[in-house]
A and B are shown apart, each in its own frame.
Chain A
């Protein structure tokens, strides 16, 4: 199938049917994945998929239709449907595709496609998953089973064309492996997970190492119990720190800020954290999982420091919200063929600091090291943060015993101010990453 020719046809039809502006977003791809259990394949999945989303603007009204059926007559009927749906929306002068000037100057982001991933032997994922399972079980006999252990790869192609003269596409690859072991002792079961996702096969962690790390994390939770409610220093391991950074970026969503539905509204230019805190959204990160030449509307991606040395420097925008807020698109329109563009993050990270994770823990007389969290737990409107937490109790600078069934709570603005240590252990295992971080004091709720 020729996506260029198809897009051209659909755009022409949209114009003919009365759309002043139209845009076609096409995704095609294939994927394969496996999960194993007790040395055997549990399930093996293979698939091809495709879909197209059509945005039509009629007199400043927006209609959107999508389909996975590429039969010519169906495609035409969906263009017509997008135009008809626009009639049902309200007119808004801010509606429309990004201005032509915004759709230029696409950066060279390097390779996104790894032929080695695209041509992986089908057996690789099975061998990788089996190796993770075996290595995990070999760590300790209390690793009885796995909730899930698997690997896979995918190849995808994105093509975007609009009536504003934009046309472009790119292909990308992903390869991943994950392990979710279960450790058992007496009546107690504990689990953890470890995973890695990369665009390039050579960047992927060794599967045995993933299985072993997952096993170690589950094992150290055996015997976990709650602690008394108290205010103590709290350390987030890199995985939990990444989820914290994701929450902060969520509050920097330009749309929420514009509507004052974010606790970061009105804080632009303010010092919201200590100097060692720099949070960056980077669409250009070499070999990054979320790297791409343009966002879901064709706007070039870029590197946007959200927090620079403690100062809130930017919010994230797509074209519509930028127009509304009289700001500039930051190239953060996230997209799938079934969804309208909306603000999302690219590669997102907290810059590494100077301190080793050990030294961050070492000067804590009594505190909590968090390795897993439950629940969504953050109210971005009010800034209240409260999540279920599992981890290790810190006593005299050492990790001592496992803790579960507690929550950690605070106010996100206060937490940012109390972020008093940043580790040097930044590693990407997906699109969002952070090093170990410490909060000088949070409320731990338990017994």
Chain B
């Protein structure tokens, strides 16, 4: 991957005057804390939505503010303000400082920029692209989806982007600035079949990409895929409930990996002992076919960051190698408390939130098998072509997924579409049942958002075709053989 360096002395006006930043750090430390940090954010966003063949609204917003974090031992004081007035910010820093109980220190701190790599550099920031061009995308989605098939009855489409500027400074002298553009186009299509049967399809994508991305990842492509899903699932039959062999289609199915294993490797859960993966470093936690990577450095990917929200560089991290647990995802605080180093995984939704260890782009490394060969190997099972949402309970490892587009597998071939299928399992157990991994790795198109502790951050996922034996499939049909 190309790593170009931004010159540290690039000339621009920082989001907040540096002397003020340094003063806030000093106020934060006034009661004898161990560490203080200032996070400044200015985020402009635009969205255009289309519904019932009309552009319903165009909107734009600005959110800006400062969060001051002070750490004393394992205790964290946090205060934020959307008022950038120095007095309001000094008040916030003082509020955060009260987490420490000492006093009398008026030490001053200075910060200096550190060089950072660039994994996304846009010729034009998304905030500077004309709204008319953004509107055009959703209009084209609507037209193409309706043109795809007469049975398409409803199309909703949204284009959304943001240009987020951040500055992080801390009492270790770090000063880091970044501009993070992010955009996504999406289509939701409802098709109507016989007897009023309605099925829906959803597709979309984007990333930290220039607006010209949509010359290649066209609105027509997005529309057709969403429409295809809706049409393909018309006439779906009830899903057989119980344990079955499942095959996951490549790409977005990686969300299963994100839920089933990724969250359980986040260091806050590990430090508190609330994850099933606690204390399992070096142990076999998955089948030998499973190698899991979290990579915040993928060019232009939705989950990538030049630096995390604590100013640490993101990394290419092998979490599980051939089934053996190799590492956790750490932010600075958990790393310190666990006696390890940050993996550049400290992320926050905005200045209103404390950083948490989070995933970036998480994917399963490719294996040996041809996807055709994997499908052929299954006598009877379920093919999961497209997932909806998923969720995991970190503590007991239970995860669940809705499969929006599923097909029965009969003697190695795809059969009828299935309705209302759900996958459920326990993370580490499911990973042990991965029996074949395809040679067709595929990142998702850039549409994932991950929620944790009420904070949403953009993420990427990816997966080649995968066969998992004995997964519990939720459905409405019971009996009638396996």
Q: A residues within 8 Å of B by Cβ?
A: 37, 40-51, 53, 62-70, 74, 78, 81, 84-86, 88-90, 92, 144-148, 182, 184, 188-191, 221, 224, 226, 229-231, 259-261, 338, 340, 372, 374-377, 379, 381-382, 384-388, 390, 404-411, 443-447
Contact of B420 among A63, A189, A384 (CB under 8 A): A384
Give the complex CA separation of A445 and B200 in angstroms: 24
Q: Among the listed B58, B99, B276, which residue makes an inter-chain contact with A41, where contact means beta carbons less than 8 Å apart?
A: B99
Residues of B with C-beta under 8 A to A46: 78-79, 92, 95-96
Contact with A along B127-139 (1 / 0, CB 8 A): 0000110010000
Q: For A89, what are the chain B residues with a Cβ–Cβ distance below 8 Å?
A: 55-58, 135
- Which residue on B lies nearest to A64, using beta carbons? B59
A232 to chain B, nearest CB (A): 10
Neighbouring A residues of B135 by C-beta, 8 Å: 88-89
Q: A379-B420, A405-B426, A409-B241 are in contact. Are A88 and B48 (CB under 8 A)?
A: yes
Interfacial chain B residues near A372, Cβ < 8 Å: 393
Q: A44–B81 contact, CB under 8 A?
A: no
B11-19, B206-214, B314-322, B397-405 - interface stretch? B397-405
Please determine whether A374 and B398 come into contact, CB atoms closer than 8 angstroms.
yes
Within 8 Å CB of B394, what residues of A? Answer: 147
Given contacts A74-B62, A189-B396, contact A47 B55 (CB under 8 A): no
B59–A85 CB distance below 8 A:
yes
Question: B472, A386: Cβ atoms under 8 Å?
Answer: no
Q: Min CB distance, A148 to chain B, in Å?
A: 8
Chain A proximity of B65: nearest CB distance (Å): 7
Whether the Cβ atoms of B395 and A261 lie closer than 8 Å is no
Least CB distance from A352 to B in Å reads: 30
Asked, given contacts A374-B400, A411-B476, A447-B243, whether A78 binds B54 with beta carbons under 8 Å apart, the answer is no
Would you call B60 and A446 a contact (CB within 8 A)?
no
CB-CB < 8 A to B74: which residues of A? 37, 40, 42
B61 near A41 with CB under 8 A, answer: no
Please give, as numbers and ranges, the residues of chain A lying within 8 Å of B395 by CB-CB distance.
147, 182, 189-191
From B77, B80, B190, B474, residue with most partner A Cβ within 10 Å:
B474
Interface SS majority for chain B: strand
Q: Are A407 and B58 in contact (CB under 8 A)?
A: no
Chain A residues whose C-beta falls within 8 Å of the C-beta of B75 in the assembled complex: 40-44
Distance of B264 from chain A, by nearest CB (Å): 11
The stretch among B26-34, B117-125, B360-368, B384-392 that forms the contact with chain A is: B384-392
A410-B476 in contact (CB<8A):
yes
* Chain A residues within an 8 Å CB radius of B98: 44
Contacts A37-B74, A260-B153, A376-B402 given; indicate if A48 touches B83 (C-beta within 8 A). Answer: yes
Alpha-carbon gap, A146 to B395, bound state (A): 10
| Bound Cα distance from A394 to B31, whole angstroms | 56
Alpha-carbon separation in the docked complex, A443 to B239 (Å): 11
Cβ A67 vs Cβ B78 within 8 A = no
CB distance from B426 to the nearest CB of A (A): 6
Known: A44-B77, A90-B55, A221-B396. A377 touches B402 (CB 8 A): yes
Interface contact A49-B472, CB-CB below 8 Å:
no
B422 at the interface (CB under 8 A from A): yes
B380 contacts partner chain A, Cβ-Cβ < 8 Å: no
Besides A48-B81, A376-B389, 7 other A-B contacts (C-beta < 8 A): A70-B83, A89-B56, A89-B135, A144-B273, A147-B274, A147-B394, A379-B200
Pick the 9 closest A-B CB pairs, nearest first.
A407-B474, A388-B400, A445-B241, A384-B420, A43-B76, A191-B395, A64-B59, A375-B400, A66-B61
Contact B99 A261 (CB under 8 A): no
Residues of A within 8 A of B80 (CB): 45, 47, 49
User: B391 to A375, Cβ gap below 8 A?
Assistant: yes
Which residues of chain A have C-beta atoms less than 8 A from B65's C-beta?
Answer: 49, 68
Instruction: Select A407's contact among B64, B272, B400, beta carbons within 8 Å.
Output: B400
